[in-house]
């Protein structure tokens, strides 16, 4: 299962978007496209609901972990009566691993002293490699393996970036399991943080999208919507929702917006095409092993018909 942050329904190429995701495209072409994954429009609640099969309030995650309160449904604490998916699969013989972002551990339990029962390894995952919070530096990440904080094996001066590191870890875990226990089913949960702030994108990837968004958000919405209709992921009689009044037309946007936004889009789009494309060569080695359904999900509620609220701050 692959979970992406802050990615709209119409962002990736399998769903008519402008972001090239060749591995996801190959999976979609050889399988099924599911278009009814409903999000909570927030990070922690969507993850908690997805990984438990329950309403996010039922597992105490009505908001993100950093804003937990004592109100029922908002404590940030999953009741012991609600079994997580990974634990259910593990008890039924599955190998389980979580690589990438977690953001489900109560903030007061994230220190190296624990307690660890709400960490990924306490929720059914036999292996965890990633970060516990909502975001981390892509060049100097706050990494954890199991329950132990660790440092990357090299720095950015030597070519380190978090996304290829996470992709390699996931691929290596699957390869090892298939080599040693080929008959054992597995559940691999890959949740990179690339599409969430901070958008630390290598220039080589950002430059691949240079000029792609210069037409502005109005044209991008229309082009994406037309492609989605051709693919059949939206009804043929669907209409594009009007642009919100608070968002100016691209041709009337401020100088700051028109100058900054394409660059911002280029970075955010490239940031999450990086892990899927970087691992594309390696993914051909492990995609056939995943005989079960591979799900491609996002935590964002944004769609091509509902543009994000425009913001521009002078610096």
Give the integer Cα–Cα distance in Å for 72 and 57.
Answer: 8
Closest among 137, 144, 250 to 201, alpha carbons compared = 137
Average confidence score pLDDT of the chain = 84
What's the token pair of residue 99? 């690589």
Looking at residue 291, the DSSP 8-state letter turns out to be -
Give the integer Cα–Cα distance in Å for 131 and 109.
Answer: 14
What's the token pair of residue 149? 């904080």
Following DSSP, what letter does each residue of 238-263 receive, concatenated? Answer: --PPPPPTTS--GGG--HHHHHHHHH
pLDDT digits (tens, 9 = 90+) for 247-284: 888 887 655 555 555 555 555 555 555 443 333 333 33
Give the integer Cα–Cα distance in Å for 213 and 242.
Answer: 20
pTM: 0.81
Give the integer Cα–Cα distance in Å for 19 and 42.
Answer: 22
The interaxial angle of helices 255-278 and 216-231, nearest 10 deg, is 40
pLDDT digits (tens, 9 = 90+) for 96-131: 999 999 999 999 999 999 999 999 999 999 999 999
| Pick from 6-10, 172-176, 232-236: least confident | 6-10
Give the integer Cα–Cα distance in Å for 251 and 215.
Answer: 9
pLDDT surpasses 90 at 286: no
Helix (H) or strand (E) holding 152: none
Length of the chain: 315
Q: Are strands 143-145 and 296-298 parallel, antiparallel or unpaired?
A: unpaired
Q: Which runs of E-coded beta strand occur in the chain? A: 2-4, 95-101, 127-131, 143-145, 148-150, 186-191, 296-298
Q: Are strands 2-4 and 296-298 parallel, antiparallel or unpaired?
A: parallel
Mean pLDDT score, 56-70 = 96
CATH 3.40.605.10 fits 2-298, yes or no: no
Domain boundaries, the chain: 2-298
Q: Which residues contact 75 (CB under 8 A, 6 or more apart)?
A: 60, 68, 69
Counting beta carbons within 10 angstroms of the beta carbon of residue 12, is it exposed (0 to 12), middle (13 to 18) or buried (19 or more)? Answer: buried
Mean pLDDT score, 274-301 = 40
């Amino acid at each position: 299962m692959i979970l992406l942050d802050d990615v709209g329904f119409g962002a990736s190429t399998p769903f008519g978007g402008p972001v090239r995701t060749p591995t996801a495209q190959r999976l979609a072409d050889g399988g099924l496209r599911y278009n009814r994954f409903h999000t909570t429009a927030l990070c922690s609640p969507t993850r908690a609901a997805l990984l438990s099969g329950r309403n996010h309030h039922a597992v105490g995650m009505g908001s993100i972990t950093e804003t937990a309160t004592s109100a029922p449904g908002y404590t940030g604490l999953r009741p012991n009566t609600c079994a997580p998916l990974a634990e259910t699969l593990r008890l039924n013989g599955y190998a389980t691993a979580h690589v990438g972002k977690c953001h489900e551990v109560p903030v007061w339990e994230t220190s190296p002293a624990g307690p660890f029962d709400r960490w990924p390894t306490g929720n059914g995952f036999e292996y965890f490699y990633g970060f516990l919070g909502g975001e981390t530096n892509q060049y100097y990440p706050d990494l954890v393996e199991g329950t132990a904080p660790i440092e990357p094996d090299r720095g950015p001066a030597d070519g380190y970036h978090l996304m290829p590191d996470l992709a390699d870890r996931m691929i290596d875990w699957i390869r090892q399991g298939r080599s040693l226990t080929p008959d054992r089913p597995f559940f691999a949960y890959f949740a990179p943080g690339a599409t969430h702030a901070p958008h630390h994108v290598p220039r080589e990837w950002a430059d691949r999208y240079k000029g792609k968004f210069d037409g502005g958000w109005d044209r991008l919405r229309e082009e994406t919507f037309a492609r989605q209709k051709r693919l059949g992921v939206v009804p043929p009689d669907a209409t594009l929702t009007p642009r919100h009044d608070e968002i100016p037309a691209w041709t009337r946007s401020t100088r700051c917006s028109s100058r900054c936004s394409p660059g911002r889009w280029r970075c955010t789009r490239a940031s999450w095409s990086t892990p899927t494309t970087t691992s594309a060569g390696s993914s051909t080695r492990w995609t056939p092993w995943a005989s079960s359904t591979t799900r491609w999900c996002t935590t964002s509620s944004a769609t091509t018909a509902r543009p994000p609220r425009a913001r521009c701050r002078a610096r």
